[in-house]
Amino acid sequence: MKYNALGKTGLAVSEICYGSLPIGPLQANYPVDQAGEVIRYCLEQGINFIDTAQRYGTYDHIRSALRGYSKPVVIASKSWAASYEDMRQAVEEARARLGRDVIDIFHLHAARVDADVFAKRSGALEYLCEAKTKGIIRAVGISTHSVRTVRLAADNPNIDVIHPLVNMLGLGILEGTLDEMLEAVGYAVSREKGIYLMKAMAGGHLVDRYQQALDFCRQIPGVNSIAIGMLRREEADANIAHIEGWEIGEDIKQHIGKNAKKLFVMDQCKACGACVERCPNGAIEVAGGRAHADPERCLLCGYCVPYCPQFSLRLINA
Ligand code: SF4
Ligand code: SF4
């Protein structure tokens, strides 16, 4: 496994980052111990970087994976918090639930389009900068689907790390094209920001072409790591074998591509529209008395699922 310097943070991260959204309650909803075993296996194969978020609900899963594990692991988390106090509470929650005094990277979780995220969430950013000064976190970051936000972050001296959405289909990119996102990432690299990508598999749309999808992201100059959700040991084996140039065994191949998911709107939908504003990708609309998800735009992130008062939204293996 290759380890890269993450911008100027002083952190060295594995080329693959364990993305913990899919294994948690918003998606596959593995029991904590079972998830911990999968994550631990990934760490034992050389991955030293885990991405999580306040919203993902996976702190306990990660803590379970880290129990008794002695090698250093870099953890990134994030929060939608806008105010100083809400972000302070988010960082304290991460420290307490993960059982760590220091969180390596803490992001403004800013997937959606936001005209001026740094002005609107200045209190949250102020807290993160203060926490970095105090040694409670090591680096300040922002995660985003938006080309414009990547450009703004590249020019913001308080931001050390950017976690942008990039995949070879350009699926889920906001406020610009794939080419424009690549140009913005290149600009951020020139500003010495640490870069690790999200949604390389387009939320599951590319699992059957994972080698091509990985190669596309790996050839982008200046990318330090790529976050990938993995639900089985065999997925970790396949991803690692691919980047190491090893032969992938038949026993592993048969497990790949089995995580294809679909967002279902169940019959109990009351067309209230609460899910619409929660989708960062504008992928869901209400028409004809019920919600509909556009499969061309839905990234299968599950962010909308907990906001349905009727429990009508389900991410299910297709
Ligand atoms: S519809 Fe739901 S699962 Fe699909 S992209 Fe939007 S928030 Fe994510
Ligand atoms: S939040 Fe639930 S009930 Fe409301 S429109 Fe969306 S799916 Fe339907």
Please check whether residues 53 and 140 belong to one and the same domain. Answer: yes
Query: What is the rounded CA–CA span in Å between residue 261 and residue 10?
Result: 37
CA-derived radius of gyration, the chain: 19
The reported pLDDT for the residue numbered 206 is: 82
Please state, in angstroms and as integers, the Cα–Cα distance from residue 108 to each residue in 3, 81, 144, 235, 272, following that order.
25, 7, 9, 29, 29
Please check whether residues 8 and 140 belong to one and the same domain. Answer: yes
CB 184 within 8 Å of CB 195: no
| Final residue before a domain boundary, out of 236, 253, 270 | 253
The reported pLDDT for the residue numbered 317 is: 64
CB 230 within 8 Å of CB 38: yes
CATH, residue 265:
3.30.70.20
**Amino acid sitting at position 49:** F
Which residue of 264, 265, 284, 312 sits with most ligand 2 atoms within 8 Å of its CB, as the best mutation to test the pocket?
312
Question: Going by C-beta distance under 8 Å and a sequence separation of 6 or more, which residues neighbour residue 236?
Answer: 38, 41, 42, 45, 47, 230
Please check whether residues 242 and 109 belong to one and the same domain. Answer: yes
- Candidates 304, 310, 254; CA nearest to 281 is 304
Please check whether residues 43 and 25 belong to one and the same domain. Answer: yes
* Distance in Å, CA 301 to ligand 1 centroid: 5
Domain that residue 299 falls in: 261-317
Ligand 2 binding pocket includes 265 (Cβ within 6 Å): yes
Query: What is the rounded CA–CA span in Å between residue 73 and residue 94?
Result: 15
The reported pLDDT for the residue numbered 141 is: 98
- Candidates 62, 94, 64; CA nearest to 77 is 94
Query: What is the rounded CA–CA span in Å between residue 237 and residue 242?
Result: 8
**Amino acid sitting at position 67:** R
Question: Going by C-beta distance under 8 Å and a sequence separation of 6 or more, which residues neighbour residue 57?
Answer: 24, 25, 26
DSSP 8-state assignment for residue 136: S
Please check whether residues 66 and 116 belong to one and the same domain. Answer: yes
Which residue of 286, 292, 311 sits with most ligand 2 atoms within 8 Å of its CB, as the best mutation to test the pocket?
286
Please check whether residues 151 and 284 belong to one and the same domain. Answer: no
- Candidates 45, 35, 43; CA nearest to 73 is 43
pLDDT tens per residue across all 318 residues of the chain: 999 999 999 999 999 999 999 899 988 899 999 999 999 999 999 999 999 999 999 999 999 999 999 999 999 999 999 999 999 999 999 999 999 999 999 999 986 766 689 999 999 999 999 999 999 999 999 999 999 999 999 999 999 999 999 999 998 898 899 999 999 999 999 999 999 999 998 877 787 788 899 999 999 999 999 999 999 999 899 889 888 888 776 666 666 655 567 788 888 899 999 999 888 888 999 999 999 999 888 888 888 888 888 888 887 765
Ligand 2 binding pocket includes 273 (Cβ within 6 Å): yes
Please check whether residues 205 and 305 belong to one and the same domain. Answer: no
Please check whether residues 87 and 216 belong to one and the same domain. Answer: yes
H or E, element range at 314: strand 313-317
Q: Looking at the DSSP assignment, which residues form a beta bridge with residue 108?
A: 79, 142
The reported pLDDT for the residue numbered 298 is: 87
| Final residue before a domain boundary, out of 217, 232, 253 | 253
The reported pLDDT for the residue numbered 111 is: 66
Tell the residue number behind the tokens 């111990």, with chain if given: 33
| Final residue before a domain boundary, out of 206, 225, 253 | 253
- Candidates 29, 4, 11; CA nearest to 229 is 29
Please check whether residues 246 and 265 belong to one and the same domain. Answer: no
CATH, residue 181:
3.20.20.100
Question: Going by C-beta distance under 8 Å and a sequence separation of 6 or more, which residues neighbour residue 247?
Answer: 241
Q: At what angle do helices 84-98 and 122-134 cross, to 10 degrees?
A: 50
Please check whether residues 208 and 124 belong to one and the same domain. Answer: yes
H or E, element range at 265: strand 261-265
Task: Tally the domains of the chain.
Answer: 2
Ligand 1 binding pocket includes 22 (Cβ within 6 Å): no
Ligand 1 binding pocket includes 210 (Cβ within 6 Å): no
Q: Retrieve residue 241's tokens.
A: 């074998």
* Distance in Å, CA 304 to ligand 2 centroid: 9
